[in-house]
Structure 1
Amino acid sequence: MKMLQAPESVLAEHYQDLRRKPFYPALIRYMSSGPMVAMVWEGYNVVRASRAMIGHTDSAEAAPGTIRGDFSVHISRDKVAFITGGGSGIGFRIAEIFMRHGCHTVIASRSLPRVLMAARKLAGATGRRCLPLCMDVRAPPAVMAAVDQALKEFGRIDILINCAAGNFLCPAGALSFNAFKTVMDIDTGGTFNVSRVLYEKFFRDHGGVIVNITATLGNRGQALQVHAGSAKAAVDAMTRHLAVEWGPQNIRVNSLAPGPISGTEGLRRLGGPQASLSTKVTVSPLQRLGNKTEIAHSVLYLASPLASYVTGAVLVADGGAWLTFPNDVKGLADFASFSSKL
């Protein structure tokens, strides 16, 4: 669940308006207690211990070259992966893991300083090439220019990872039309824009792999998430449609749906003020948060020859959280009644 923030003007307008709503204090209380904090309760040492047990280490805590994995280091040798939202969070870790397995990468984001810094770190740590590009996934001309530049640099693109996204908590009745549209434009529109451009410019004639980073929100109703749930459900539907239509051109299309992942902007936003301090998910079957490296390895699998007969699928990597995580509608009752007035 990598988060590409919506345009600053939209978010500023949205949050300034939200803070004036009578339910805002209740929203903050909800984010600071109950299941949102139960999700992330028992301290950073829990995730460190779980990582040690499973043999995964987030590179934020490890020296370059120390990330362990069970894939051949040559599984993506000399492939080229185009990663939207690759400048930070899960997208950055996906780029790192792909590069540690022989891949060159293109990382694209709206923030040029962010991707420039990220590309330097990635190339320095892995010895592979990383091209940073400034691109807004909502703008097809910008996407076309970025893909052209990537093809000029590498001569090919084998893998597309659609990781750019936007999200925040908000009751449907308080959600502005512009905020809803912005999330749909980034998540759903952006995924189609980049996929469509790459299909036209390279994949149609050469084949390729697309992995869309989505979420489990569309699998069931979720309070405060109508915008993101709708957008991600649409992307999962898009995954199936494109898998059917583009399969004859040797293009595989799959989705990867992460759950609550430690050390991400998404968890900090959606898990409330305590999320960055804690890590145990008492309401999920595996009783812990995931980490970015686990998600990156799942994406690597879907993009690799190991998944050569997998297309049109949604791989859920959330420790089973979507099966058991509580939907605390009752906890929202003290401000939900205001939605009809907004």
Structure 2
Amino acid sequence: MNVSLLNASMGNVSINESLVTCFHKDDEFKYRAYTSTYLVLFPVAILCNIGALVFFFLQGSRRSSASCIVMMNLAISDGSFSLTLPLRLAYYYKGGVWIFPDWLCRLCVYGFYVNLYTSILFLTLLSVLRWLAVNHPLRHRALVTPLRTLLVCLGVWLCVGVASAPFLTEGVTHRGGSLRCFEPSSPSSWGRILILNYLALALGFLFPFLTIIVCYSRIVRRLTSRFDVHSGSLSGSSQSGNTRRRNRRRSVHLVSMVTATFLLCFLPYHVIRSLHLHAVCGGWNCTVTKALQRAVVVTLCLAASNSVVNPLLYYYSTRTFREHVRDAQSSIRRTGSNRTRLSLKSRRNTTS
């Protein structure tokens, strides 16, 4: 970042101080943290999400169910983001030097925010679908169709893609004689980022988070009720009651995991990011700003890890997904044992 540009306005003195004195003296911590995190995330995320997509496509008729459509879009989002991780790895491994074209820098920045907020909205949509299925099964059958679900998912992609478009304007910058990426291009950029942060915080995080909390509380209330309003009998009094109870348990598991994902991956990042932006724009104490900068690094790593947390959600919330995984595991074991038997048999024939 050009220091003369930072000094161009007296109103930006505090931003200059925070950026130059605090941020970049602590770059080594950021580079180490991101390198180690993305080194672990990339192979796990790409394998898990490609594997999830394969399993979903193998489900045949179940592939067109509303939940399956949403999960497939979630896996596409996470898989697409994981494809940008090698570029980030190369950048941080080289000590913050960007060696790729400018458009790839813009695409990496844009891809992170698209993945972050499509993941949040798809997880919210899953919770809403599960709430409808449990609390309003008749309305769920009437309203939720594969086509409508697909259109909603396309709407999520469109809205998030358009809302994240400002991040395509931030490309490669020059600082310290090197090309840099993932850094604001000028002091005025921080003010714009602060405004975008609050829009994303309200519409992309708080509203979805409150929605899943409401869904969660109503599903739990319904599950803990001994009387089944729709059937007019006690839950679990027949085989169909046992089936409903299992389905509702899976619903609670799903919404519980979604809530845990929000609390672990998304909440810390949004809170710390907001505080950090205020520290930068407000010229807070250098020590506080540096501590918040480190906290942003840690919470951003947690936010990026949602790409490997979501496949766990597919596994524990979808019975058919678990069955496919177990079938694949048993098939691999059978193949391995058959090869072992053939090898032992050939050795015996050779020695005899």
Which TM-score applies when normalising by structure 2? Answer: 0.29
More helix by share: 2
More strand by share: 1
Which TM-score applies when normalising by structure 1? Answer: 0.30
